[in-house]
Chains A and B, each alone.
Chain A
């Protein structure tokens, strides 16, 4: 538990006593790929600290369309917003692969926050960062085309492999996951990928997406929605 706390942004700098207290109230849990950790609209009694693996937070719009809101990796905390606001979970969280998490009981966490002001400040900082993330997401969905959102998201997740800039498909899991994350559907995403491929910006492979023209892709990432 102490290892993962040292990976959590803003929690690593907590006093040792606060970290030890947090470790005492956390319980280890494992989930297999595809398993639900919690459901949208369930009472929030637990927050989770992700130690190993990837999870996806997804939400259904009132119109019944799935929108992936976040893809989280080790060192992230989730379920906390609902716990702190005393509201049901705002989204469903699903393990994308076998994951290990630490479950922290709501009442115990609120008690710790009352006892350790440094922990309260760390929580505030994390929630503030989450607000900034959603401001960016709103801007993305309202101002940029699917191609633009796809281009910038690919660049954000690209890494160098064998001297090439690539996005490994494991990170993205499937086209459906990618479409949900970009706020669109699979068919539109496929067309967007083909458009970028036809423009010579990338090449879609079975296991990876190779970025052939990072500069061109970056320029595409700033393309606004065509309202003409």
Chain B
């Protein structure tokens, strides 16, 4: 059975986390809906939390990231997600 775009997106995010030494053992939870990636779980530092957001946000077809990962001093997730204009990334060096 073929997967939906959101299922493929979720699999890509999980694979990216699994191959990152900072996040591989964190067992972060990932959801994907309408091209938005939702993250949860717990990491040890704000830097790891931000790394997860950046890794997910840089994947193709990700329109935005809702970061609900717990970390010491982590802010509450924004209620409005900054959407990535699709296609702009292609123009970047």
Q: Which positions in A face B, CB cutoff 8 Å?
A: 34-36, 38-42, 60, 62-66, 88-90, 92, 94, 176, 179-180, 185
Contacts and interface: CB of A to CB of B under 8 A. Distances in A.
Sort A-B residue pairs by CB-CB distance and give the 3 closest, nearest first.
A41-B31, A39-B31, A64-B81
A64 B38 contact: no
Nearest to A62: B34
B47 to A, nearest CB: 20
B64 interface: yes
Contacts of A90: 33
Contacts of A179: 79
Interface string B4-48: 001100100000000000000000011111111111100000000
Contact of B31 (A35, A42, A94): A42
Contact of B79 (A65, A89, A94): A65
B6 A92 contact: no
Nearest to B39: A39
Nearest to A42: B31
Q: Which of B36, B37, B64 has the most CB of A within 10 A?
A: B36
B40 A36 contact: yes
A88 B31 contact: yes
B38 A39 contact: yes
Contacts of B6: 41, 88
Given A39-B68, A92-B66, 8 more contacts: A34-B70, A39-B40, A40-B36, A42-B30, A42-B38, A60-B33, A66-B80, A88-B33
A38 B68 CA distance: 11
Contacts of B66: 40, 60, 92
B82 interface: yes
Nearest to A180: B79
Contacts of B37: 41
Given A41-B38, A92-B38, A64 B80 contact: yes
Nearest to B82: A64
Nearest to B74: A34
A17 to B, nearest CB: 35
A41 B7 CA distance: 8
Contact of A41 (B32, B63, B76): B32
B55 interface: no
B50 interface: no
B59 interface: no
Nearest to A65: B80
